[in-house]
Structure 1
Amino acid sequence: MVENVYVLPDNLPVPEDDGACRHLPGIELPSVPLLATTGEMIDVASLPGLTVLYCFPRTGRPGVPNPEGWDLIPGARGCTPQACSFRDHFQELQQFDARVFGFSTQTPEVQQELVERLHLPFSLLSDEHLTFVQALRLPTFTVEGMTLVKRLTLIVESGKIIKVFYPIFPPDKHVNEVLAWLAQR
């Protein structure tokens, strides 16, 4: 059955904190240039100022079924609604002088389709070879042969991780947590 990728179904399992991100706050990002949907290479470690890097497993596409059992994996479902929420609150994020990037292990071509379909005002960064994921020891899971990053958000200031949101649920409301944190900072 093909699901509506824009809507979160009821009764999704809630992800639990497995401790997989406890090592991240306070560390300096490794220099790992990532291909952006703009075609340029972005090294988040070298960016000055504030960067919001929201990480998601994979985007669904209208008319294409999700992997078998996708909705049963805690935290898997919701990448498109999450991207839409960051898009819809992009101007608010800009008020904090924050760069915004989405991040996944999907190919740049898959990510480019999402940027165009959803009219995202920010780039997505591809780590299809898992270089950044492995360097930071980000939590992942595997489904249908794909290694996917678990949903988390890194707030980076001049190359240093200053805040980690993990686990994230529900993904379509997470941008509100980010905005609240930035406002009280």
Structure 2
Amino acid sequence: MSVRRVELIDADCGIEQALGVLTDWWTFLVVRDIAGGVTRFEALQRSLGVSRRALTERLAALVSHGVLRREAYSEHPPRFDYLLTAKGEGLLPVLIALQDWGTRHVLGDGSLTATAAPTSAEAHRVHGLVGHLVPVVPISRWTVLYFFPGAYPSAADYPPGWGDIPGAGGCTLESLTYASRADDFAAAGVQVKGVSTQRPDQLEAFAAHAGLPFPLVSDQDAKVAAGLRLPTFRASGVDRFKRLSLLVDASATIRAVQYPITDPAASVTEMLELATGFGLARTQPAIGGSDGR
């Protein structure tokens, strides 16, 4: 279980040099869990089922390489949170790429798709997010976060072959339906935010074109995608969200999940019903998050 040091032959090869830091699959899983908010030693060990010695070695190596930093949360005895540095955050797209490859080519049949079967491992993972905290996105009240593949002001702006990808179409319809029901969500005490991996300027252009009364949030740095291990697919060189929606309470804790979504417009009505159903629960404390969150 110890970290095995290897002599790197090609000093000019970025892949070899990267593997000199990310020495084995345990190291990738450590980074994955820390990106997901499991930042303390005991919580990491429980999550991964790894030995204390192996985890200690990998954490120390990642700190020495500048991938992680330690932040003290207890002086007596000394205890630390392990957090990603800017260098470590640069690995988030790598995690997303690995997840997408595993879902598509190992768990799946290799087909490019923007959706999933309700009984799939991917759907099971996403529905398991209930009780987890949403990273990065500022949330101070009950919120619907709807994640969509991509929306543009003009049909000419969509990537080539977009209409041939199952589940990719319908982003404009979904956004316009949320816009038309915005007052109903507000009456239920819920705000709406859309989230995409598109650039902020692209989202601003679409929001202005569609006249959306709520903000669209860019996750182009993959912090939310990697933190929650949300399902993605890659089209035209960009990692994009598969369509899903989360109902989040005022403490940023996920309370309900919609995935997969096969009817974008109908999903808005279903989400409003879900949000309204939590009306009495809003006066109660939110359920707790997962280890380390």
Instruction: Indicate yes or no: 2:165 matched with 1:165.
Output: no
- State the match for 2:130 in structure 1: 25
Q: CA deviation at 1:69?
A: 3.0
1:66 shift after superposition: 3.1
Return the TM-score normalized by structure 1: 0.80
Query: Normalized per residue, which structure has more helix?
Result: 2
Give unpaired runs (5+ residues) of structure 1: 1-12, 33-42
Q: Which is strand-richer, 1 or 2?
A: 1
Partners of 1:22 and 1:55 lie apart in 2 by 14
Quote the Cα distance in structure 2 between the aligned partners of 1:70 and 1:27. 32
Alignment coverage as a number of residue pairs: 160
Query: What is the RMSD computed on CA atoms of the aligned residues?
Result: 1.8
Q: Report the counterpart of residue 215 of structure 2 in structure 1.
A: 123
Counterpart for residue 117 of structure 2: 16
8 Å CA contact 1:15–1:169 kept in 2: the answer is no
Aligned pair in 2 of structure 1 residues 70, 160: CA closer, same or farther (>3 Å)? Answer: same
Measured after TM superposition, the shift of residue 14 of structure 1 is 7.2
166, 181, 185: which one pairs with 2:274? 181
Q: 1:152, 1:166 within 8 Å by CA — same for their partners in 2?
A: yes
Structure 2 counterpart of 1:122, which letter? F
Structure 2 counterpart SS, 1:141: strand
Mapped contact 1:153–1:164 kept (Cα < 8 A): yes
What is the alpha-carbon distance in structure 2 between the residues aligned to residue 125 and residue 93 of structure 1? 18
Q: Indicate which of 51, 58, 61 corresponds to 2:153.
A: 61
TM-score computed with the length of structure 2 as normaliser: 0.52
Where in structure 2 are the equivalents of 1:84-103 lying within 5 Å?
84-103=176-195
1:144 shift after superposition: 1.2
| Structure 1 position 77 matched with structure 2 position 169 | yes
Shift of 1:65: 5.2
Which residue matches 2:234? 142
State how far apart, in whole Å, the 1-side matches of 2:206 and 2:271 are: 22
Which residue identity lines up with residue 168 of structure 1 in the other structure?
A: I
Give the aligned residue type for 2:254. I
1:88 Cα shift? 0.4
User: Is the contact made by 1:58 and 1:79 (CA closer than 8 Å) also made in structure 2?
Assistant: yes
1:78-109 deviation digits (Å, cap 9, x = unpaired): 10110000000000000111111000000000
4+ runs deviating over 4 angstroms: none
Q: RCO (CA 8 Å, sep 6+): is it higher in 1 or 2?
A: 1
Structure 2, unmatched stretches of 5+, are: 1-113, 279-293
Code of the aligned partner of 1:16: A
Q: Is the 8 A contact 1:51 1:99 kept in 2?
A: yes
Shift of 1:175: 0.7
